[in-house]
Amino acid sequence: MIKVIVNGACGKMGRTVLSSVINDVELELVGAIDIKGGIDIGDLTGTAKTGLLVSNNLQNTIDSVRPDVMVDFTRPDTVFANACTALKNHVRPVIGTTGLSDAEKDKLNKLALENDTPAFIAANFAIGAVLMMMMAKKAAKYMSNVEIIELHHDHKLDAPSGTAITTAEMISEVRKPMKQGAPQEKEKLPGARGAQINGIPIHSVRLPGYVAHQEVIFGGLGQTLTIRHDSIDRSSFMPGVMLACKKVMHLKGLVRNLDKIL
């Protein structure tokens, strides 16, 4: 059994992860952490009282239960420190929180190697989202004009999403940077054409009712191609999270994105 703790346990994603870990025969839930401490896990998962209470201190939880894996769905401003704490204590982080900079990811990779403790991070744990990114990369070889629209719930703290950034980076592996649109194009309002990664515009939508959605639109002579993925429920991420909890036990350094472990 792989011993798992969940950081950010009281959030919507955290609660879903708790239930999934509990129901996985290869995993054992041994702890949960959130700034809202003292809550019984059963109250978060809609089951009977378990006697296992949410802690508000990551280090104390690690010291008391000695987990193998930490799943982190917290906040962009805390995830880096959480991952560093885990790695220094030889706990393998599985990170679903987006917002880490490239420099922070490089530091985590170095820390993972120094402590001989692997780590895993994914921009999106949904299998369909991974396929969407892979298909977009393939399409970009033949249709170079492309824009990305990502749509999320209005409580998401970072924009653009990690999925959109990763998609643009994957497309950039097969497509040279280029300026799209009219050569004399002018934004009447700053940001109207979106954020730019290597000339690929990314547009972020934040509205109630959405979970996580993205479409990649390619344009060519007399035609367009749209590749879209929709997560309509947070359960869509759970197979990927559970897989990462098991695969991270045998990785090396920091491994990024679900396609590396499928």
Segment 152-178, tens digit of pLDDT: 999 998 999 999 999 999 999 999 999
- What percentage of residues in the chain have a pLDDT greater than 90? 92
Asked whether residue 99 carries a pLDDT value surpassing 90, the answer given is no
Asked whether residue 28 carries a pLDDT value surpassing 90, the answer given is yes
Asked whether residue 49 carries a pLDDT value surpassing 90, the answer given is no
Domains and CATH numbers, the chain: 2-121+235-260 (3.40.50.720), 127-231 (3.30.360.10)
Which of the following is catalytic: 3, 88, 107, 156? 156
Asked whether residue 57 carries a pLDDT value surpassing 90, the answer given is yes
Average pLDDT value for residue range 249-260: 95
More confident residue, 71 or 123: 71
pTM recorded for the entire structure: 0.86
Predicted local distance difference test score (pLDDT) of residue 224: 98
Q: Reply yes or no on whether 137 is catalytic.
A: no
Asked whether residue 48 carries a pLDDT value surpassing 90, the answer given is no
32: left (phi > 0), else alpha (psi -120 to 50), else beta?
beta
Q: Would you call 24 helix, strand, or coil by DSSP? A: coil
Helices (H), the chain: 12-22, 41-45, 58-65, 79-88, 102-114, 127-140, 162-172, 238-247
Mean pLDDT of the chain: 95
Predicted local distance difference test score (pLDDT) of residue 87: 98
Which of the following is catalytic: 137, 152, 203, 247? 152
Asked whether residue 194 carries a pLDDT value surpassing 90, the answer given is yes
d(CA 240, CA 237): 6
Asked whether residue 98 carries a pLDDT value surpassing 90, the answer given is no
Q: Reply yes or no on whether 156 is catalytic.
A: yes
Average pLDDT value for residue range 220-226: 97
* Ordered DSSP codes for 116-149: T--EEE-S---HHHHHHHHHHHHHHTT--EEEEE
Where does the pLDDT of residue 113 fall: very low under 50, low under 70, confident under 90, or very high at 90 and above?
very high
